[in-house]
Amino acid sequence: MKVLRNCFRILVGLVFIFSGFVKGVDPFGTAFRIEDYFIAFGIPWAGQFALGIAILMCMLEFTIGVSLLLNLWIKKYAWLLLLVMTYFTVLTFIDAIWNLVPDCGCFGDAIKLTNMQTFLKNVVLMLLVVPIFMWRKKYRSALPVTLDISLLFLAALAFTWMSVYSARHLPLIDFMAWKKGNKVNKTENLPVKFYVTYKNKKTGEKKEYLASSYPWNDTLWMSHWVFDSQRVEDPNAEKTASLLVEDMQGNDVTASILQNPDFQFLLIIYNLPETNSDAILHFLPFYKKAQADGKTFICITSAMPDDVRKFRMAHGAAFDFYNADDVILKTIVRSNPGLILLKDGVVIDKWAFRDFPEWAGVREKYFK
């Protein structure tokens, strides 16, 4: 029986450590999914707290895993384990039935599961968690309680540092298609479609449109309808990074960017109004020097043409702007803004705005 108890403890502990780590190492990715839930539950204003909740949630999950794996203070942590698993089992059941959010991200972007698969995974875990909870008094640490608590505190502290660092810079481990070294110009056989759903403020009726065709410029219509959700339909998801780039006139220029055999810099701004203005001002000298050395430089954003014009006037940004879906841009680089160095469809390097480089260093590293 002792062997069985320890097997349950170790197995659930490893799952919690893995799940907490792969989400915590990319806290913005987790925060984006939490924002999707807030939108689905009709509280989009809570999105401002999503990043903090993401870091706290992942830290909690990770430390529960450490407690189980190392047999530290399980008598108390078993209550937390049962509470967390019950909450997520109920939430994923709701998701599996009503599909409120297409991807709950229980393993971040490291492993993709459908909502039903996620729920069934949690059911299996509950079959292990309930016995662990029932046996909680039988688990005895070889260390004093104060040392158990100290080790768990250190684990929480180290994990929080890792998540905060990843949020302020870039994920320490990048699970996305646009990670350094990946080739992103794989051939697409079918077009990728982006949909948005709007909800009538009075009737609650919902209508779904292609992102390029909803009546955003009809002020009367926009006064009666509010954004509800969005989704991507990509028949080539296993083969491509799902990027669709258009110029300000709506022409598809994706191929010219991804198939460019030369070095080019892509400034990614998935949220133009909330981008870091100081980073843009700091970066303008880099752009001017790169342009003077004959390097291609463009900006890809999700903003509308009017917002782009205002931004260019406010910051003196003379580089060309292109448009893409913000969901896809968030998968390219988590930073807003972020910088990508691309060559022949291969991601050579990428930087968060806090780590924007000096031109002399980039030229010495890549163009000498």
Residues 164 and 151 in one domain: yes
Q: Which domain holds residue 71?
A: 2-168
The average pLDDT across 293-300 equals 93
The pLDDT score that the predictor gives to residue 102 is 81
The pLDDT score that the predictor gives to residue 201 is 87
Residues 347 and 298 in one domain: yes
More confident residue, 333 or 209: 333
The pLDDT score that the predictor gives to residue 237 is 53
- Residue 238 in any domain: the answer is no
- Residue 84 in any domain: the answer is yes
Residues 89 and 121 in one domain: yes
CA angle 19/158/17 to nearest 5° reads 20
Q: Residue 61: which region, alpha, beta or left (left: phi > 0; alpha: psi -120 to 50)? A: alpha
The pLDDT score that the predictor gives to residue 118 is 94
Residues 251 and 317 in one domain: yes
pLDDT tens sequence across 88-100: 999 999 999 988 8
Q: How many domains does the chain have?
A: 3
Question: What is the full DSSP assignment across 207-274?
Answer: EEEETTTS-TT-HHHHHHEEEEEEEEE-TTTTTS-----B-TTS-B-HHHHHT--SEEEEEEES-STT
Residue 194 has pLDDT above 90, yes or no: no
pLDDT tens sequence across 96-133: 998 888 878 888 888 888 899 999 999 999 999 999 99
Q: What is the mean pLDDT of the chain?
A: 91
Q: CA separation (Å) from 102 to 2, 33, 73, 148, 296?
A: 40, 9, 36, 39, 36
- Residue 313 in any domain: the answer is yes
Q: What percent of the chain has pLDDT over 70?
A: 96
- Residue 347 in any domain: the answer is yes
The pLDDT score that the predictor gives to residue 234 is 66
* Cis before 215 (ω within 30): no
The pLDDT score that the predictor gives to residue 364 is 93
For 344, half-sphere exposure in the C-beta direction (CA atoms, 13 angstrom radius) is 2
- Residue 305 in any domain: the answer is yes
Residues 148 and 267 in one domain: no
Residue 241 has pLDDT above 60, yes or no: no
The pLDDT score that the predictor gives to residue 108 is 83
Residues 6 and 137 in one domain: yes
CA angle 285/287/290 to nearest 5° reads 110
The reported pTM is 0.82
Residue 203 has pLDDT above 50, yes or no: yes
- Residue 8 in any domain: the answer is yes
Residues 122 and 43 in one domain: yes
Residue 238 has pLDDT above 60, yes or no: no
Residues 49 and 151 in one domain: yes
pLDDT tens sequence across 49-91: 999 999 999 999 999 999 999 999 999 999 999 999 999 999 9
